Amino acid sequence: MAHHKHSHQEGKSFLHASKTCRLGTVLVLTIGFFFVELICGYIVHSVAIFADAIHMLSDSGALIIAMVSVRISKRKSAKNTFGWVRAQELGAMVNCILLMSLCFTILVQAVKRLISIEPVERDKLTLYIVVGIIGLAINLMALIILRGDMAHGHSHGSNKNKSKDKHDNKKDEDSVEIGEGEHLCDDEPADTVVNHGHSHDSKPSTLDNGKTKNVDKKSEKKKRKGLDGGQMNIRGAFLHVLNDALGSVIVVLAGLAIRQWPDKAWINYIDPIASLLMLSMIVVFTIPLLREAALVLLQTAPMHIEVADLQKRLVEQVPGVLAVHEFHVWQLSGSKIIASAHIRCHNLSEYMAVAEQVKDFFHKEGIHSTTIQPEFIDQEIISGTVDDKECILECLKDCSMNTCCGQPSSYVKQRTPHLGARSNTDTDNTAQRSQTDTVIPTIEIISPTRSNTYIE
Amino acid sequence: MASDDKSSLKHPHRSKRRFFQTKTFRLISMLVLTFSYFVVELVVGYITNSVALVADSFHMLSDVISLLIAIVAVRIARRSSLKNTYGWVRAEVVGANINTVFLLALCLTIIFDAIKRFVQPERIEKVNLLLIVGSIGLGVNIIGLFLFQGFHGHSHGGSSHGHSHGGGSHGHSDKKSSHGHSHKKNSHGHSHENNSHEHSHENNSHGHSHENNSHGHSHENNSHEHSHENNSHGHSHENNSHEHSHENNSHGHSHESNSHGHSHENNSHGHSHENNSHNQTDRSSEESVEINNFPELDGLSNRFDRHSTRAFQEAFAECVQQTDEQSDTVTEMEEGNNNDRNAAKPKKKASMNMHGVFLHVLADALGSVVVIISALIIKFVPNPSDNPKHWTIYVDPTLSVIIVIIITTSAIRLFKDTSYILLQVMPKHLEVNTLKRQLLDNVPEVHSVHELHIWRLTDDKVIASAHLNRKNLSNYMHVADKVKKFFHSIGIHSITIQFEHDKTIGTDNQSTTALIDPNNPERVPGDCLLRCNPDECEPQTCCTVKSERANTLSNDNAMEIYSITEPNNYEKSVQTQTSVAPSIQDERL
């Protein structure tokens, strides 16, 4: 990876400017070229150049979306209690869909041209090639600038041809998965920021993966959690520009081929077929990003967190927690993970201690924004009115349509029905584990006992 | 409007025999229609070597794609998952979002196409073929419009309908004074609005708020005073809401928890309905009462306005509906600002997903109309000189642009709505600072609020989480119940409240210096007690310590609570003062 180091040092001053600055540069480039093409097209009356200009415009649209979402994500608002941090994920998704629908229109064009061949006019061939080459140059520049954000562990080849491009992009996807926290432009501290959450993780396999560059599929998956909204955003813009660059490559290749073999019949099929190939490639690149952004927006738990397992461990590992229900873990943006849970405790006196421990538990799992609702059950257990799975603080039944889950999933410590069945080892265990507790609750006879079997 | 038909749709997927009325069925039947037409067009286009036909067939394909997205979204939303702790209910919102973006992109390409044709006009040949294709396409799309109309169109029609019904049922439920009955009536009245079962409940609560409002008003003779207030100052709703909430509170406490919750409902939706429900009572009792004339007149004229516009709307293929609806609300704004929320609310009841598909189909139908119109013009307007740049050529692109603008306006609105949900924005009718204040007032046992987060999972599922500081945790379940009821009253039914017991609060309220925790001098009163070490995990928490401190609202002075509890006193300045206080201390340290 010497290559990569080299280019990093080379372009450090510029390539590591702020995200907005980079996007702005690329935007100016594309818009400038758009006007150039527009004027050229008007002068030589070429519809093809107009079409290309419009393509450029869609590119700058994507860049504007990316920029706006970066801006929005920094804003504060009274309307949004989380701030707008998610704007970048949304921007990435919108860009993906825009790109896909653009692909769709290109597909339509290509199929149309396959059905009824439009021969290219020979006299304008040179013009095509020239425009294609300029467009390619501009797009390559844009790619290199945007790549600075994502360049983190792969070679910077010059994307002179398609296969190389593909190669590079594959690598991009790998390297991008190393989250860089908020400091997208820093190199070294970034890894530590993201991996920090994991350094406490019970699974050591995820540790330090950020720095290993070998392509291990499984560890790659683990690292995926670090994919920041900002990177998604930039990646969306990047894919747009890449799409454009490939388009220019195809134009140039088709033009050259026509010039080379002007009389062959198959020559007219080169352009649409190459377009189709490019389309499928772009779609293949876009879908993972789209999926990623959509998953965040759908409130899924981050990849590396096994929700059921976490819930189980919360009950098992934290003494004093009898049951967990309404357990929700989701990803706000990037590495910001939010959890909320209703836990059931014995009684009030041990509450703050238990809460502390639960907080600590989540902290070790890399979840740092938590809300834990305690519920105390001693009275209800005596009367036997409350089921383990039910939340004590529930709305009236007619609100169940508007709750987030019709059927709350709960994870409950099974209680043995006999009051005297509590074993001594268990209580000892409790005392040991909660040594740090200032308040060790006096365990009442009626309080439910803990055992190691669980029901779902 | 086959009302019995629609009301049976409330639980579509539960009963198999109702399958033909479910969303999935409608989507699939439309999908089959469009897809078969796509194949036919493609084949015919290939045989006749007509590029126009092939292009149109791909337009159909875009329809097919958007329908597929919608179907997938509906399917996914039903699934449960281990990966997602909320299930996939948001899939429909994401699906709608994707569909709108897709639609916007298509609109963009249509515009580009139109520009291209302005620059270099293309001669249109095979006019007859175009006419045939256009009319078949129009037919298919009109079928589609009818299929999806139930999910979208009725929501508009229903808004007036439902309200008048609500007014009527109000009288009945009044006499019977049984909540069960009023439930049923109201849900009937509103069942026009939405046929998807998820939303029916929201309606119920609506019905209640209406009912309760008019209830209170008609029983107390103050009602007219209120109406005057509302009519004159549109913005006075906060004050009003306050009075009402207080009234209702007293009501609620005397009643069972059931009525308590519902009377609270007034707080949330009440502000927006205030005017309207008032008008309803006026309208429904206009013959019998006839005491107070001018609000009636207002209401009447308004109603006629609405009806006339609605007739126009339905005639006009429902496309301008939204803009009309808006102009409706504009006229209502003169009467009181709050009404526009009311008008907007029932509209949103329609499933967003279906709304997205509806827009797609609508765009397509209008596109077919344009094709037919331009083909007819080209066919029947003589073009003697055979001029390639005759004006008839420009009809098609111009009309296309106009239609794109119409579609875009409604698509952007839908996009905004869905994006707001995806960005975790609070529901529109809630305001975070007011809410904190109200919470502290309603539950005086709570000392301060921090990390209050409110967001929507889907359009009507609001989720809240908050950390509350208390001086001591005595009476825990009682207070928790009160907080729960408070959130219930504002329409939030999924909450997670973390209570924290701050020992330092109880010791000394007055002197701020005594509030510093000796163990942790960094801490400021009102801070979260259960927080990670700020240096390590800051970038991974949703809110930084600083922003959290700025957003903390606490009752530092016990007397203040009661002075503020005076109605009509929710000034912003009070809130900001109290909320800023901790951060000032922070700086002093």
pLDDT band at B395 (very low <50, low <70, confident <90, very high): confident
Q: Which of B61, B65, B94, B424 to mutate to test the interface with A (most CBs of A within 10 A)?
A: B424
Structural domain contains residue B67: yes
Please tell me which residue, B550 or B228, carries the higher pLDDT value: B550
pLDDT band at B351 (very low <50, low <70, confident <90, very high): confident
Together in a domain, B437 and B405 = no
Q: Which of A6-20, A141-155, B294-308, B477-491 has the highest mean pLDDT?
A: B477-491
Q: Which of A363-367, B100-104, B462-466, B505-509 has the highest mean pLDDT?
A: B100-104
The separation between CA B176 and the C-alpha centre of its own chain, rounded to angstroms, equals 32
Together in a domain, B443 and B408 = no
Per-residue confidence (pLDDT) for residue B98, from 0 to 100: 92
Please tell me which residue, A452 or A225, carries the higher pLDDT value: A225
Structural domain contains residue B441: yes
The Cα of B189 is separated from the nearest Cα of chain A by a number of Å equal to: 18
Of B377, B405, B423, at which residue does a domain stop? B423
Kindly report, residue by residue over B234-263, the tens digit of the pLDDT: 333 333 333 333 333 333 333 333 333 333
Q: How far apart are the first and last CA of chain B?
A: 67
Of A130, A382, B314, residue with least CA distance to B306: B314
Chain A residue with Cα closest to B496: A373
Q: What is the CA radius of gyration of chain B?
A: 28
Are B192 and B312 in contact by the 8 Å Cβ rule? The answer is: no
Together in a domain, B450 and B491 = yes
Structural domain contains residue B216: no
- Give SS3 for A336: strand
Please tell me which residue, B417 or B552, carries the higher pLDDT value: B417
> Is pLDDT at B225 greater than 60 in this prediction?
no
DSSP B496: E
Kindly report, residue by residue over A220-235, the tens digit of the pLDDT: 333 444 456 667 888 8
> Is pLDDT at B415 greater than 90 in this prediction?
yes
Phi then psi dihedrals of residue A16, to 5 deg: -105, 25
Overall domain count for chain B: 2
Pairing of strands A454-455, A336-345: unpaired
Q: Which residues pair with B494 in a beta bridge?
A: B463
Please tell me which residue, B581 or A33, carries the higher pLDDT value: A33
> Is pLDDT at B352 greater than 80 in this prediction?
yes
Structural domain contains residue B37: yes
Q: Which of A107-111, B26-30, B43-47 has the highest mean pLDDT?
A: B26-30
Kindly report, residue by residue over A304-326, the tens digit of the pLDDT: 888 888 888 888 888 878 888 88
Put simply, the answer to whether B460 touches A98 (Cβ < 8 Å) is no
In this complex, the residue of A87, A98, A107 whose CB is nearest that of residue B423 is A87
Residues of B in contact with A94 (CB under 8 A): 101
> Is pLDDT at A285 greater than 70 in this prediction?
yes
Put simply, the answer to whether A102 touches B105 (Cβ < 8 Å) is yes
Chain B residue with Cα closest to A303: B83
The Cα of B424 is separated from the nearest Cα of chain A by a number of Å equal to: 7
Lowest mean pLDDT among A106-120, A238-252, B344-358, B366-380: B344-358
pLDDT band at B335 (very low <50, low <70, confident <90, very high): very low
> Is pLDDT at B434 greater than 70 in this prediction?
yes
Per-residue confidence (pLDDT) for residue A322, from 0 to 100: 82
For chains A and B, what is the number of CB pairs under 8 angstroms? 245
Average pLDDT, chain A: 67
> Is pLDDT at B526 greater than 70 in this prediction?
no
> Is pLDDT at B57 greater than 60 in this prediction?
yes
Average pLDDT over residues B375-398: 77
Residue B109's domain comprises 21-151+351-423
Distance of alpha carbon A219 from alpha carbon A206, whole angstroms: 7
pLDDT band at A200 (very low <50, low <70, confident <90, very high): very low
Average pLDDT over residues B551-579: 42
Residues of A in contact with B412 (CB under 8 A): none
Please tell me which residue, B205 or A343, carries the higher pLDDT value: A343
Per-residue confidence (pLDDT) for residue B95, from 0 to 100: 92
Structural domain contains residue B265: no
Say which CATH number the domain at B91 has: 1.20.1510.10
Per-residue confidence (pLDDT) for residue A94, from 0 to 100: 92
Residues 6+ apart with CB under 8 A from A436: none
> Is pLDDT at A30 greater than 50 in this prediction?
yes
3-state DSSP percent of chain B in helix, strand and coil, to 5: 70, 5, 25
Q: How many CA atoms lie within 13 A of A116 on its CB side?
A: 12
Q: Does A112 touch chain B (CB under 8 A)?
A: yes
Kindly report, residue by residue over A292-308, the tens digit of the pLDDT: 889 888 888 888 888 88
Full-model pTM: 0.66
Structural domain contains residue B87: yes
In this complex, the residue of B84, B499, B501 whose CB is nearest that of residue A299 is B84
Together in a domain, B361 and B465 = no
Residues of A in contact with B553 (CB under 8 A): none
Together in a domain, B398 and B465 = no
Together in a domain, B479 and B385 = no
Q: Which of A56, A98, A369 to mutate to test the interface with B (most CBs of B within 10 A)?
A: A369
Distance of alpha carbon B114 from alpha carbon B119, whole angstroms: 9
Report CA-CA distances (Å) from B50 to A200, B320, B375, B392, B450.
65, 33, 15, 21, 66
Q: Which of A121-125, A170-174, A391-395, B91-95 has the highest mean pLDDT?
A: B91-95
> Is pLDDT at B412 greater than 90 in this prediction?
yes
Q: Which residues pair with B565 in a beta bridge?
A: none
Per-residue confidence (pLDDT) for residue B507, from 0 to 100: 46
Put simply, the answer to whether B201 touches A90 (Cβ < 8 Å) is no
Q: Does A309 touch chain B (CB under 8 A)?
A: no
Together in a domain, B436 and B482 = yes
Together in a domain, B442 and B371 = no
The Cα of A6 is separated from the nearest Cα of chain B by a number of Å equal to: 30
Structural domain contains residue B260: no
Lowest mean pLDDT among A277-286, A316-325, A424-433: A424-433
Distance of alpha carbon B548 from alpha carbon B450, whole angstroms: 7
> Is pLDDT at A448 greater than 90 in this prediction?
no
Phi then psi dihedrals of residue A376, to 5 deg: -115, 140
Residues of A in contact with B106 (CB under 8 A): 101, 105
Put simply, the answer to whether B424 touches A404 (Cβ < 8 Å) is no
Say which CATH number the domain at B487 has: 3.30.70.1350
> Is pLDDT at A236 greater than 90 in this prediction?
no
- Give SS3 for A373: strand
Of A75, A208, A282, A295, residue with least CA distance to B83: A295
Per-residue confidence (pLDDT) for residue A255, from 0 to 100: 82
Residues 6+ apart with CB under 8 A from B494: A326, A402, A403, A404, A405, B457, B461, B462, B463, B464
Helices B476-489 and B257-284, packing angle to 10 deg? 20
Per-residue confidence (pLDDT) for residue B545, from 0 to 100: 67
Distance of alpha carbon A269 from alpha carbon A256, whole angstroms: 14
Are B475 and B443 in contact by the 8 Å Cβ rule? The answer is: no
Together in a domain, B144 and B38 = yes
Average pLDDT over residues A130-151: 80
The CATH class of A19-149+229-298 is mainly alpha
Kindly report, residue by residue over A365-423, the tens digit of the pLDDT: 888 888 888 877 655 444 444 455 556 666 655 666 666 665 444 555 544 333 333 33
3-state DSSP percent of chain A in helix, strand and coil, to 5: 60, 10, 30
> Is pLDDT at A277 greater than 70 in this prediction?
yes
Distance of alpha carbon B441 from alpha carbon B564, whole angstroms: 8
Task: Name residue, tokens 């139908």.
Answer: B365
> Is pLDDT at B554 greater than 80 in this prediction?
no
- Domain A307-381: CATH superfamily, name plus number: Cation efflux protein, cytoplasmic domain (3.30.70.1350)
Per-residue confidence (pLDDT) for residue B172, from 0 to 100: 35
DSSP A302: P
Per-residue confidence (pLDDT) for residue B353, from 0 to 100: 85
User: Which tokens go with B101?
Assistant: 């973006």
The full set of domain ranges for chain A reads 19-149+229-298, 307-381
Please tell me which residue, B103 or A163, carries the higher pLDDT value: B103
Q: Does A445 touch chain B (CB under 8 A)?
A: no
Task: Name residue, tokens 């998807």.
Answer: B196
Together in a domain, B448 and B369 = no
Put simply, the answer to whether B86 touches A371 (Cβ < 8 Å) is no
In this complex, the residue of B83, B101, B201 whose CB is nearest that of residue A97 is B101
Average pLDDT, chain B: 61
Are B55 and B424 in contact by the 8 Å Cβ rule? The answer is: no
> Is pLDDT at A280 greater than 70 in this prediction?
yes
Kindly report, residue by residue over B67-102, the tens digit of the pLDDT: 999 999 988 888 877 778 888 888 889 999 999 999
Of B423, B447, B465, at which residue does a domain stop? B423
Structural domain contains residue B188: no
Of B403, B423, B443, at which residue does a domain stop? B423
> Is pLDDT at B157 greater than 50 in this prediction?
no
Residues 6+ apart with CB under 8 A from B459: B93, B199, B348, B349, B352, B417, B421
pLDDT band at B201 (very low <50, low <70, confident <90, very high): very low
Together in a domain, B411 and B439 = no
Torsion angle of the four alpha carbons B98, B103, B108, B110, in this order, in degrees rounded to the nearest 10: 150
Distance of alpha carbon A78 from alpha carbon B433, whole angstroms: 8
Distance of alpha carbon A24 from alpha carbon B486, whole angstroms: 47
Are B495 and B487 in contact by the 8 Å Cβ rule? The answer is: yes
- Which amino acid is located at B526 in the chain? G
Together in a domain, B369 and B404 = yes
